[in-house]
Amino acid sequence: MQFTTPAGRNPIDQLKVVGKPVTRVDGPLKVTGNARYAYERHEVVPNQAYGWILGATIAKGRIIQIDTAAAEAEPGVLKVLTTLDRDPVPPGFRATVHLFGGAEIQHYHQAIALVVAESFEQARAAAHLIAVEYETAHGRFDLAAEASGAKPIADRDSPDSPIVDRVGDFDAAFAEAPVTLDESYATPDQSHAMMEPHATIAAWADGTLTVWTSAQMIGWHREDLAHMLGLDKEDIRVESPFIGGGFGSKLLLRVDALLAALGSKATGRPVKVALQRPLIINNGTRRAGTMQRIRLGATRDGRLTAISHHSLNGNLPGGFAEAAVAPTRLLYGTPNRDLALKLAILDLPEGNDMRAPGEASGLMALEIAMDEMAEKLGLDPVEFRIRNDTQVDPAKPERPFSERHLIECLRTGAERFGWSRRNPSPGAVRDGKWLVGLGMAAAYRGNLVTPSKARIRLERDGRLTVETDMTDIGTGSYTILAQTAAEMMGCPLGSVKLALGDSAYPASSGSGGQWGANNSTAGLYAACVKLREAVAARLGFNAEDAAFADGMVTSGNRSVPLAEAAKDGPLTGEDGIEYGDLDKRYAQGTFAAHFVEVGVDSFTREVRVRRMLAVCDAGRVLNPITARSQVIGGMTMGVGAALMEGLAVDRRFGYFVNNDLGGYEVPVHADIPHQEVIFLDYPDDKSSPMKAKGIGELGLCGVGAAVANAVYNATGIRVRDYPVTVDKHLAEAPQRA
């Protein structure tokens, strides 16, 4: 199905099932332990052996030799593969590093050997006996120290944006502006810290490979494996029906799948491999830390006249830039702008996608800057943002937003949160020992449209089977796809069976970039249209006139049970959604306003979040329960980013020292207070037939700044270097409140 013009009224608009607060259809499987994750799939193939990955213990240089004799002599060891056995595999899609092969070391904990043994314990113990001789080279591990050599670079995900993105005359406007701000902000390297590690079981049969893995993008993993192993992708099957969190870490193929495949090939046994947590952090990808400079110029009545946002991060040679300026392109209207990304070379684990790449980091800075500017102007921060709203792409005023209700998000949030009770003077509100502050931020995240296919089959008994390689990374894909099928075919939810996350099924959008929900359901919508046509033809109806409801197909005064259409055999509808240029003609985005109340201990400066509210404008909400879960998960991640998360690099050895979940702290239940989420109901007919948009990343965008702004309101101390920890607070405020 080509989606080239705005959606008219369609069966989804009935909202009998879609849009309803349906609990997760896969919930019972999960709470009973019957949703098997990759490493636990003991049943899929017998005689599984265990692999353990050895990571390099230098960050840059080369391997002189690897002595595996002692490891190979250990009981139970089947095989030791080393990186010296083969040439480097080519880098995967969107990736810079080569995952295995050759003597060159590009980053710490690069995989250099795999031990395959009868048991996990044997493999791990044997790996400790491998002796590696290195030749260490000088590495670059300090972003600030490498800043002077940084080069301007394009935003890989916005190829149409110029490298130095100038509109109007920023310098002149900034010089003339009566009120200006010029501040620098820093965000640290972050780990996805998903609960389930990268994990794969691989098995070969007759030259074909099956991997049971944990992947957000079935198609990308399959193509990367084919590319790296020199196989035809048709000879590879990838299965990933359940995923214990990804946050971008599982978009791209990681070394667990490659080494499981190589280990299985070498031993003739199915092999399972997981990345140990330290390797998730030092071998996997990170959200690259940034150093950002923001300059704002405004009129005295609070109209932005000039905005400049420059961001620097580091990555391996050939790596990409964290596009922190991305939200600044579209969030506020201003006639003069100057946006630029710079990239320095760092020999650290590869910087790559993490939940809301670009926007999350950029808004952490931009939305503090907006708070600071509002204060300079003596304007309420909510009102300041309202005054600078835009209904068109500021760089292309002929390009309107498809739907944009940021002002309503801001006003609704202010009303519901009791924003009017905020004391604009910082440090003025006390509750016992606590200094209490309110903060807010606006949020923007793009809505990405991308093709997605699905197949739906009407079985003889009237039940429906949906097949697509769409993944559910904890987001609720199973549930919203079931709702879509039930709505389109006029069936109860319980009659829809889902089969997801398998490369044997039609290729979907996959999960990432908050594009999964809208695109995968739109692809299934297209398949359902085909099935409705097939059903109508079989029953002798005109498809245009037939209504599908309550298990019946009705046209005029004739009504036939849906199952009747399949009495002679199943009927199948298979199609996908493909998009025209509506996302070029219209800026498609999602918007939110975040409000946060914090308490800051007046003695120790410990920060505790007390209340949070998000008001979201993200198109049609397909399921308010799963959508809310996405948003509160994002808000929780935002609290982590604001207050505690940060990878600490050792600048001598070149690795992240806090490489486990004891050292890399993410919020625990005690950190997260009451969270409230409000969805505005603005279906977007330019987005897809579903009229939905992304939501999973919007929940994170802006939250960090809202927390930081609340801390400022509580204390009067502005920390511009995340996370906002006690030590930074004390450095800014040596005197006790």
Partner 1 sequence: MRPFTYERAASPAAAIAAVTATPGAKFIAGGTNLLDLMKFEIETPTHLVDVRSLPLATIEDTEEGGLRIGALVTNTDLASHPRVKRDYGVLSRAIVAGATGQLRNKASVGGNLLQRNRCPYFYNTAVPCNKREPGSGCSAIGGVSRSLAVIGTSELCIAQNPGDMAVALRVLDARIEAMNAAGKTRTIPIAEFFRLPDFTPAVEFALRPGELITAVTLPPPIGGSHHYHKVRDRASYAFAIVSVAAVLHEDGTGRVAFGGVAPRPWRVERAEAELPQGSEAVVAAAFDGAKPTQDNAFKIPLAERALALVIAEGRG
Bridge pairing between strands 434-446 and 674-679: unpaired
Kindly tell me which of 223 and 597 has the beta carbon lying closer to partner 1. Answer: 597
3-class secondary structure, 601: strand
Specify the amino acid at residue 437: G
Q: Find tokens 């019972």 and name the residue.
A: 28
Query: Nearest distance from residue 11's CB to partner 1, in Å?
Result: 47
Residues in contact with 700: Cβ distance below 8 Å, sequence separation at least 6, in sequence order = 355, 356, 360, 634, 635, 637, 638, 641
Residue numbers 279-338 binding partner 1 by CB under 8 A: none
Choosing from 648, 676, 716, 732, the residue that interacts with partner 1 (CB under 8 A) is: 648
Choices 178-186, 420-428, 579-587, 721-729; region in contact with partner 1 by CB under 8 A: 721-729
CB of 643 to partner 1, least distance (A): 7
Stretch that binds partner 1, among 63-71, 515-523, 581-589, 722-730 (CB under 8 A): 722-730
* DSSP one-letter code for 328: G
By beta-carbon proximity to partner 1, the closer residue of 632 and 726 is 726
Question: Which of 181-189, 314-322, 414-422, 720-728 is the region at the interface with partner 1 (rule: CB under 8 A)?
Answer: 720-728
Considering Cα of 214, then 216, then 222, then 228, what sign does the dihedral take?
negative
Catalytic site includes residue 697 = yes
Subset of residues 411 to 450 that bind partner 1, contact rule: CB under 8 A: 433
CB of 286 to partner 1, least distance (A): 16
* H or E element at residue 224: helix 218-229
DSSP, collapsed to helix, strand or coil, labels residue 498 as strand
Q: How far is the CB of 131 from partner 1 (least distance, A)?
A: 12
Options 570, 624, 663, 716; binder of partner 1; rule CB under 8 A:
663
Choose between 333 and 663: whose C-beta lies nearer to partner 1: 663
Q: At 595, list the tokens.
A: 């409000």
Q: Is 606 in the site for partner 1 (CB under 8 A)?
A: yes
Of 135-143, 212-220, 646-654, 693-701, the window that binds partner 1 (rule: CB under 8 A) is 646-654
Closest distance between partner 1 and the C-beta of residue 639, in Å?
9
CA angle 26, 40, 43 (to 5 degrees): 95
Report the residue number, 501 or 667, with the smaller CB distance to partner 1: 667
Q: How far apart are CA 28 and CA 252, in angstroms?
A: 29
Q: Where are the beta strands (DSSP E) in 629-707?
A: 649-650, 655-656, 674-679
Q: Is 84 an interacting residue with respect to partner 1 (CB under 8 A)?
A: no
CA 212 to CA 219: how far, in whole Å? Answer: 14
Smallest separation, CB 369 to partner 1 (Å)? 25
Of positions 318, 540, 668, 674, contacts partner 1 by CB under 8 A: 668
Binding mask 51-80 for partner 1 (x = CB under 8 A): ------x-----------------------
Piece in contact with partner 1 (CB under 8 A), picked from 25-33, 62-70, 174-182, 642-650: 642-650
Q: Which is nearer to partner 1, 94 or 611 (CB)?
A: 611
Residue 643 near partner 1 by CB under 8 A: yes
Does 658 interact with partner 1 (rule: CB under 8 A)?
yes
Out of 605, 620, 686, 693, name the contact with partner 1 by CB under 8 A: 605
φ/ψ region of 274 (left if φ > 0, alpha if ψ in -120 to 50, else beta) reads: beta
Taking the least distance from each CB to partner 1, the nearer of 61 and 501 is 61
Q: b/e per residue, 520-548, with b = 16+ CB within 10 A?
A: bbbbbbbbbbbbbbbbbebbebebeebeb
The answer to whether 290 and 309 are in contact (CB under 8 A) is no
Site string for partner 1, 669-708 (x = CB under 8 A): xxx-------------------------------------
Whether 354 and 177 have beta carbons less than 8 Å apart is answered as no
Part in contact with partner 1 (CB under 8 A); list of ranges 182-190, 330-338, 610-618, 658-666: 658-666
* Residues in CB range of 418: below 8 A, 6 or more apart: none
Buried b (16+ CB within 10 A) or exposed e, 344-362: bbbbbbbbbbbbbbbbbbb
Is residue 727 at the binding interface for partner 1, with CB under 8 A as the rule? yes
Nearer to partner 1, 210 or 658 (CB): 658
Which residue out of 133, 223, 697, 732 is catalytically annotated?
697
Residue 731 sits in the site that holds partner 1 (CB under 8 A): yes
Question: Do the beta carbons of residue 329 and residue 307 sit within 8 Å?
Answer: no
**Total chain residues near partner 1 (CB under 8 A):** 40
CA 21 to chain centre: 23
Spatial contact of 457 and 572, defined as CB atoms under 8 Å apart: yes
626 secondary structure, DSSP code = H
Which of 218, 546, 649, 706 binds partner 1 (CB under 8 A)? It is 649
Residues 105-124: x/- map of binding to partner 1 (CB under 8 A)?
----------------x--x
Cβ burial, residue 120 (10 Å; 0-12/13-18/19+): middle
* Closest approach of partner 1 to the CB of residue 666, in Å: 8
CA dist 161 and 588 (Å) reads: 16
Q: Using DSSP bridges, classify how beta strands 552-555 and 558-561 pair: parallel, antiparallel or unpaired.
A: antiparallel
93 touches partner 1 by CB under 8 A: no
The sheet carrying 571-579 orders its strands as: 2-3, 571-579, 452-458, 464-467, 496-499
- Please choose, from the candidates 263, 599, 654, the residue with its C-alpha nearest in 3D space to the C-alpha of residue 435: 599
Strands (E), 432-522: 434-446, 452-458, 464-467, 496-499
Using the rule CB under 8 A, is 128 a contact of partner 1?
Answer: yes
Stretch that binds partner 1, among 423-431, 494-502, 527-535, 641-649 (CB under 8 A): 641-649
Q: Is 657 in the site for partner 1 (CB under 8 A)?
A: yes
Instruction: Please list, in sequence order, all residues whose beta carbon lies within 8 angstroms of the beta carbon of residue 590, skipping any fewer than 6 positions away.
Output: 444, 445, 446, 447, 514, 616, 617, 618, 619, 693, 694, 695, 698
Span interacting with partner 1, options 154-162, 184-192, 323-331, 718-726, rule CB under 8 A: 718-726
Distance (Å, rounded) from C-alpha 465 to C-alpha 500? 10
> Smallest distance from the beta carbon of 299 to partner 1, in angstroms?
41
Which C-beta is closer to partner 1: that of 129 or that of 552? 129
CB contact set of 79 (below 8 Å; sequence gap of 6+): 72, 115, 116, 263, 266, 267
- Other beta carbons within 10 angstroms of residue 573's beta carbon come to 23
Min dist CB 103 to partner 1, Å, is: 18
Decide: is 33 part of the binding site for partner 1 (CB under 8 A): no
Among 601, 676, 721, 732, binds partner 1 (CB under 8 A): 601
- In the complex with partner 1, the residue whose CB is nearer, 364 or 470, is 364
What beta strand segments (E) does 648-712 contain?
649-650, 655-656, 674-679
Q: Which two tokens stand for residue 630?
A: 């996405």
Closest approach of partner 1 to the CB of residue 272, in Å: 18
What residues act catalytically? 697
List contacts with partner 1 (CB under 8 A). 57, 121, 124-125, 128, 433, 601, 603-606, 608, 643-644, 648-650, 652-653, 655, 657-658, 660, 662-663, 665-671, 723, 725-727, 730-731, 734, 736
